[in-house]
Every structure is written in C-alpha cells, then in structure tokens.
C-alpha cells in the first residue's frame, strides 16, 4: 500500500445502488477521492470512529494503474492489477454535507475508510467484466456484483479520469459499488470474495471495532 499515490473513487456506478439511496443515475462519471491515510488492509482489526454516526460498507472492485495515461490508451495497456476494496462511508455525515452542498471528504476520507486487499495481475478487460465479487458480513452475503453491470465501463472511467485529473503508475480506482450497502456494527466480521477466471479468492476476516 505504500506505493499507492492517488485514490480515485467512482460514485453511483451501479443503477440499483443509485436507486436504493434515492439518487439519480449520473450522466457522466462522478469522481471523488480519498487520502492515502484512509488505506487499511482487508484483514485484522478495523478500528472505526463510532462517534460520527452510521458507517456503511460499499464493496468495490479496485484497479491499479501501471503506466502514465495518454489519450487513446486502452485499458489493457494501462491497468496492471486488480483487487477488492470497501469504500466506507459515514452516512449521517454525508447526508448533512449533501444538504449543505458541501464536498463529501469528511464522510469518505476518515482513517480506515479505504479497505483494500492485495492486488493480483489484471487479466484484461474481458476477464474484468466477467468476474463476480461479494461481501460476507457475519457469514451472510450482503453484497454481490459484476462489473458488466457498471453504468460507466472501465475504459470510459480511465479516459474520464485520465483526461480530467491525470493517471499515473501507483494510482488506484475504486470502480463503484453494487446494491446492498448497509451499516456496520461493533463486532461485525467481514470477508471479501472474488471469482475471476474460474478461481475464487477470499480475503479477511476483518473485525470491526467501532471504538
């Protein structure tokens, strides 16, 4: 994780997730970021600030950039790794910020809010779109998704971010969460599962400590 430079995140990239939160489906990618201080491995104790209200899990596929973006680059030239991540969101804080039309950083960027597994080699865009991922909370599957259901596919995301904000080696992109987000409670246990190329990997467990 020490080699990660910028953390880009994509909001509302699955239609059912936008619907479950009562949000409109965006017409272009909605991008926000997290500080690198937010990074946390997907195992062991996850200490979260229980004093800020509900904190929701949002499971996502994460890709790692391996080269400097140039216009016209294809995903297979740019991306070199894939992982799972959880974009943790202080939902009560976010709701208050949205009411004031303020940025979301306080709700998205707190320490531990960017859970991330280890990266594995990127197998190409076709394999990426065929993978399946899920989040297990207390032995129950609470989220599952497939990148083929993303509103904005990976190529469109890298073109949008690369042309507007730049992309370079060491940057990562949290590509959006499917439906099923919900609150965490003290003592919850989380596991992240990824099925790609016929192989299944399980990451965790992660033990939630709300302080």
The pLDDT value recorded for residue 19 is: 61
The pLDDT value recorded for residue 129 is: 94
Would you state the torsion angle of the CA atoms of residues 76, 81, 82, 84, taken in this order, to the nearest 10 degrees? -150
Mean pLDDT lowest among 73-82, 163-172, 190-199: 190-199
Q: What is the pTM of this model?
A: 0.95
Alpha helices in 81-180 (DSSP H): 91-99, 105-108, 125-130, 154-164
Q: Which of 178, 118, 116 is nearest to 147 (CA)?
A: 178
CA distance 36 to 6: 7
Mean pLDDT lowest among 22-26, 36-40, 202-206: 22-26
Tokens 């959880």 -> residue:
86
The pLDDT value recorded for residue 177 is: 96
Structure tokens at 66: 């391996």
Residues counted in the chain: 211
How confident is the model over 118-153, as pLDDT tens digits?
A: 999 999 999 999 999 999 999 999 999 999 999 999
CA distance 159 to 146: 21
- CATH architecture under which domain 6-209 falls: Alpha-Beta Complex (3.90)
Structure tokens at 127: 């394999």
Domain ranges of the chain: 6-209
Residue 15 DSSP code: H
The answer, yes or no, to whether residue 172 has pLDDT greater than 90, is: yes
* Residue 146, CA distances (Å) to 89, 128, 143 in order: 21, 9, 11
Secondary structure in 3-state letters for 123-149: CCHHHHHHCEEEEEECCEEEEEECHHH
Q: Give the number of other Cβ atoms within 10 Å of residue 23's Cβ.
A: 13
Q: How sure is the predictor about 44, in pLDDT bands with cuts at 50, 70 and 90?
A: very high
CB 131, CB 194: distance < 8 Å = yes
């Amino acid at each position: 994780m020490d080699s990660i430079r910028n953390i880009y995140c994509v909001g509302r990239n699955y239609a059912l997730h936008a619907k479950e939160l009562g949000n409109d489906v965006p017409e272009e990618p909605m991008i926000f970021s997290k500080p690198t201080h937010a990074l946390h491995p997907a195992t062991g104790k996850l200490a979260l600030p229980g004093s800020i209200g509900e904190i929701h899990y949002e499971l996502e596929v994460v890709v790692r950039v391996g080269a400097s973006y140039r216009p016209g680059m294809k995903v297979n030239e740019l991306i070199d790794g894939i992982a799972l991540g959880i974009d943790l969101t202080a939902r009560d804080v976010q709701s208050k910020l949205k009411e004031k039309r303020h940025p979301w950083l306080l709700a998205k960027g707190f320490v531990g809010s960017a859970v991330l597994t280890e990266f594995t080699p990127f197998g190409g865009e076709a394999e990426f779109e065929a993978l399946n991922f899920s989040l297990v909370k207390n032995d129950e599957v609470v989220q599952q998704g497939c990148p083929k259901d993303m509103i904005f596919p990976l190529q469109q995301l890298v073109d949008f971010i690369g042309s507007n904000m730049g992309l370079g080696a060491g940057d990562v992109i949290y590509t959006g969460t499917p439906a099923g987000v919900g609150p965490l409670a003290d003592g919850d246990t989380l596991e992240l599962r990824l099925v790609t190329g016929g192989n299944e990997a399980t990451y965790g467990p992660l033990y939630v400590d709300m302080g």
